[in-house]
Structure 1
Amino acid sequence: MHQDLVIIKLGGNALLDLSATFFQQLHALKAAGHKIILLHGGGAMISDLSTQLNLPIKKVAGIRVTDEATLKVTKMVLLGHMQPLLAQKLSQAGFSVTCQNAAMNHLLTGEFLDFETYGYVGTITQANHEALLNFDSDILILAPLALTPDGHWLNVNADQAACNLAAMLQVKQLYLLTDVAGVLNQGQVLPSLNQKEALALCQKEVITAGMQPKIKAAFQAKHAGVQHVFITNTLQASGTSIQ
């Protein structure tokens, strides 16, 4: 169990509007001796650019269907815009940062999820532990992209990617930051959620399609040995703790 490593998944929308409080919370983690892997999304901007380029936007069960053109847009947004922007903001806030991607040193290896249904979408099956556990900076920035063993790029759901990594690296704490304060039921944040409760809420459509991949990935991480998995909109509050 790597207790000093924290993985934080940051949604694309949140990335564009990082608050002073967020940076304070990162500094508090650093002061407590933690190193941080920050895995960022970029879904809204991928959709915006796809629309500008007249590319179809299709999601199945909350997962973006990714053809070759959409994959190029995804790589462009994540590696060409989001990652440098995040590195700039973190550097300005006083952190040393390292940006890496799947093409470097077999960092993130994946396999297709279901090519017929999703196209170039995958899951992470292997990770370069040495590179991911022994980076020299305060924060390692990663995009949710993987490469198959024969060199195909894969778009990976950012929540799934963060949960895969947390399980593989056996970190103690995983935060899935989103734009709501946690999993909501009738407008109230559920402080904790077990799998039976989650299934019932999905069947009642209280947990909607957009949240379902996040919930599914969170339980996978929990069952794989990650001690603390939180769905929240701030590092200050635990939001919904996955049980």
Structure 2
Amino acid sequence: MKNLIVIKMGGNAGAELTPIFYQQLKQWRAAGKAVLLVHGGGNKISEYCEKLQLPVMKKDGIRITDAATLEITQMVLLGLIQPQILQQLASHQISAMGLNTITNASIQGEEIDPIAFGAVGKITHIHTALFETLLQDYVGVVAPLAQNQQGGRLNINGDNAAAEIATLLQAEALYLVTDVPGVLKEGRLISTITPTTAQQLQAENVIGCGMKPKINAAFYALEKGVPYVKICSNTFNEGTIFKED
């Protein structure tokens, strides 16, 4: 999709992003850019699981999702996080609309490993025409949930979802917004990263479990043709830009 910018936001990002971020969204829209926000909610999901005495388990940074955890995930993402983000956008006079795959099948997927991860999936198809139509007039806001062929719900890692959606919609840029300035080594920002340097950083244990899915998602999008990919704490910050060797 021409002139599309995809932004992955964490579950806390809606409350933490500064007015400059919303001003940039307005500038992008005024310049004819389409904008899609993919939001997570991991910390809040864990919080509610703990309140209900459900185990919080992750493997390689991916949440293991049983039936009860899936219900909590859907409740938090669609009932709490997404409405908050839409409210934030509205308060900054930005026209936005939420996409709910449970009602419009905008994202379809399949399980990656039911035994190891439960109801965790990967995206296999998106309703491209729906996204393209919506994003002409609105900033889109979508949760990383999918439906499988049987109509069941799947939890998708937010970074993986954003990378796959950016790839399938042929976005011009993908921003993975997190709570750190980018990939750090000894507290210093690494401005550019390639597959070779990423392997070196992993061997040195510089890249932890929380950053690993973002690194993998960033390189996936780059390899699949998204020309500009960056991990950052805000879209206008320097961040870490991903490039081929």
* TM-score, scaled to structure 1: 0.97
* Comparing 222-231 and 195-204, the one that deviates more: 195-204
The structural deviation recorded for 1:237 is 2.2
- Report the equivalent of 1:174: 174
What is the letter of the counterpart of residue 52 of structure 2? L
* RMSD, aligned α-carbons: 1.1
Contact 2:17–2:234, Cα closer than 8 Å, also in 1: no
Quote the Cα distance in structure 2 between the aligned partners of 1:237 and 1:154.
33
CA distance in 2, matches of 1:190, 1:85: 32
Unaligned runs of 5+ in 2: none
1:137 & 1:153 partners in 2: Cα distance? 28
Unaligned segments of structure 1, at least 5 residues: none
2:126 aligned partner, one-letter code? A
Alpha-carbon distance in 1 for matches of 2:238, 2:132: 24
Per-residue deviation, 1:18: 2.7
Question: AA paired with 1:16?
Answer: A
Structure 2 counterpart of 1:78, one-letter code: L
Q: Which residue of 2 aligns with 1:18?
A: 17
Q: For residue 133 of structure 1, report the CA deviation from its aligned partner.
A: 1.4
Distance 2:203 2:196 in 1: 11
The percentage of counterpart residues that share the same residue type is 40
In the alignment, structure 1 residue 63 sits paired with structure 2 residue 62? yes
Partner Cα separation in structure 1 for residue 104 and residue 78 of structure 2: 16
Partner Cα distance (2:38, 2:240) in 1:
19
| 1:228 Cα offset (Å) | 0.2
Indicate the residue corresponding to 2:46 in structure 1.
Answer: 47
Aligned to 1:32: 31
The one-letter amino acid paired with 2:213 is P
Q: Distance in 2 between matches of 1:138 and 1:98?
A: 6
Amino acid aligned to 2:26? H
Cα offset for 1:170? 0.8
1:155 is displaced (CA, Å) by 0.5
- How many residue pairs match? The answer is 242
1:109 corresponds in structure 2 to: 108
Look up the match of 1:223: 223
Deviation (angstroms), 1:137: 3.0
Equivalence for 1:147: 147
Does 2:192 match 1:198?
Answer: no
How far the C-alpha of 1:204 sits from its partner, in A, is 1.3
Matching residue of 1:131: 130
* CA-to-aligned-CA distance 1:174-219 (integer Å, 9 cap, x gap): 1000011111111111111001110111121101111001101111
Deviation at 1:138, TM superposition (A): 2.6
Residues of 2 paired with 1:51 and 1:30: CA distance? 40
Instruction: Give the secondary structure class of the aligned counterpart of 2:2.
Output: strand
CA distance in 2, matches of 1:199, 1:107: 35
Report the TM-score when normalising by structure 2: 0.96
Aligned position for 2:157: 157
* Superposed displacement of residue 84, structure 1: 0.8
